[in-house]
Structure 1
Amino acid sequence: MDWIAPVGTIGGAIVGVGSALLAERLRWRRERDQQWAQQRRAVYREFVMASSRAHSQMRASALKAGLSERERFSEIHQAIDSSQLWQQRQALSLTAPSHIVSLAAEVTQALEAIRDVLIEDPSITGDRFLHLRATYWLKNADLREAMRSDLGMSGPPDPEVGHYRGPDPVP
């Protein structure tokens, strides 16, 4: 009967250490998941901002008066290149799930289509530009909504998802 106290003590120590290890493991996993979500949020934010910069800078370049075709070509390409869109898309491909990478590729392709149209015709009021811009905005809204969903954000959806206030997008 002298063995019951030491066995009980050892059993209690095992349960105590085991529960402490389990609690520590759960805390570590929760912190790791939070850090991963923060990293994805930062990459998502940078891509969306780069996309917006590319669009704005291309429009500004197209509006510059007195540029030759060669200068306009260079300015518009420089606008999209200096936005860091390509770098942020590569970072996104290392961080995001495949469906978000696909949506980001669609946003990038929409910007490339805008770039090509602005090189040909620098008008930002022409039908081709307006339709391509509508396509870009809708794809960008879909991407943002997918990013919000991936990050577990609650609340109403992005109001631009599935809606656009301008001409119909390019089919």
Structure 2
Amino acid sequence: MQWMSLASAVLGAAIGIASTLLADRARWRRDMQDRQQELRRDVYAEFLSALSETRRCLWEAARDSSLPMPERAQMARDAHAQWATHSLRIKVDLVAPKELLPHVDRAYRSMCDLRDAIEGGALYGDAEYHAQRESFHRDLHTLRLEMRRDLSIDQ
């Protein structure tokens, strides 16, 4: 009989330890997922902000027709460099799921195409500028929606 109570006590302790370990593991996994989502949200926000600020600077370069073309081209290049969109794109590539990456690349490429159009002499009133700007806005909008989907934010 004493073996039976000893075995019951050992079995009870083993079940208690196992359930505690399972609960701790589940909590750890949930905490890791929360931290990963927070990291993605921060990197996504930083990248989207940089794209928006770059777009604003590009708009300023395209609007200022009083500047000579080489200076407007330099403003466009500076906007791209100032907001470090390329570096932030690499950060997004590191944390985003692979399904999001084509949208990231499309939005980034559209911003570069807009910059290239301005470097080539396109002004705010030109059809080329408007076509590139609309393409960028469309790709940026799609990227935002996909990022929100990835972060499980209601749309």
For residues 111-150 of structure 1, the aligned pairs below 5 Å read 111-150=111-150
TM-score (ref. length: structure 1): 0.85
Post-superposition offset of 1:39: 0.3
Q: Which runs of 4+ in 1 moved over 6 A?
A: none
1:36 is matched with: 36
Q: Which blocks of at least 5 consecutive residues in structure 1 are unaligned?
A: 157-171
Whole-Å Cα distance in 1 between the matches of residues 98 and 16 of structure 2?
42
Counterpart amino acid of residue 25 in structure 1:
R
Determine which structure has the larger helix proportion and give its number.
Answer: 2
Counterpart amino acid of residue 88 in structure 1:
L
Whole-Å Cα distance in 2 between the matches of residues 31 and 8 of structure 1?
34
Counterpart amino acid of residue 109 in structure 2:
Q
Contact 2:65 2:123 in 1 (8 A): no
Post-superposition offset of 1:98: 1.9
Counterpart amino acid of residue 116 in structure 1:
D
Total equivalences in the alignment: 155
- Matched position secondary structure for 2:99: helix
For residues 1-171 of structure 1, the aligned pairs below 5 Å read 1-154=1-154, 156=155
Post-superposition offset of 1:137: 0.9
TM-score (ref. length: structure 2): 0.93
Post-superposition offset of 1:61: 2.2
Give me the identity figure in percent: 26
Contact 2:73 2:121 in 1 (8 A): no
